[in-house]
Structure 1
Amino acid sequence: MTRLCLATTLATLAALSIGAGTAAAGPLQGRLLQHLDTNQDGGVDRGEFETAMANRFVRLDANRDGALDSDEIEIARERVARRLDAAMTVAENRMEKRDANGDGKISRAEFVRVPALFDLADKDRDGRLDKDELAAARDAFGSR
């Protein structure tokens, strides 16, 4: 039973995290904080966390019997696994695209060369990214 409880908690936390966004850890953490921080004070208190967990429980309890059975936990675990796989595929594809010379390695030059992304983010075309442009880019690029 303890393993079931731990598995449920981990699946729920992972599902909350994944549901809040996918991509790099920074944007993910920002989106998770934004999702959980309902009073917008820059942190998550116990009440906000418990509310998020209760809401997640309701979504996981497919048969609405007030408990998570092994089938519901397995469904949640499979959803999380699919989302993690998708996020890993996106990350791998992004890295493969950076390998311009096809040698299977990402050099420093290949890693930092992202002028198209910069140009997309620089909405006013002034050659610099202000806080609004950075936030918009984070939201747009981080959610893919």
Structure 2
Amino acid sequence: MSRAKPVLMICLTVGWFATAGPFALAQSAPPPAQDGLLKSGPPTWDANRDGIFTCDEWKGFADRIFTLADRNRDGKLDKTEFATVQKADAALADADFGYFDENQDGKIARKEFVDKPSAFIVRFDRDGDCRVTGDEIRATTAPKGPQGPAERPRDRFH
């Protein structure tokens, strides 16, 4: 009987490490970094579904959203109508009224809304051609590796 207790304790300890150990390691590892503009996946406004997001596609999408939100059809959005914009697409959920209201008159005109650049295109369009490709997204979100030395090592004998 006295011999069974240590064996049981060893089995319990090994069992605990076998089950809890990997869980503890998984919990301590930081989650992979994710760009906030991609938290809902790629944008839904890729009109032709080719995986390339263009300024023209954004403007068409913004125009449709504006029309949907402008309930009284006066050509301007007030703050209550703007709530519809925020609910229309996950990419606009955190949109700020003041960002679009350029002249700060308390209303957003269609031109103010549609002509405002997409935060997505501003963030990912690396070559400035008003088109965001998958390569540009990958290049922007790729983890940055360790940087090399700040300067080239010098030869001690020269």
With normalisation by structure 2, the TM-score equals: 0.28
More strand by share: 2
With normalisation by structure 1, the TM-score equals: 0.30
More helix by share: 1
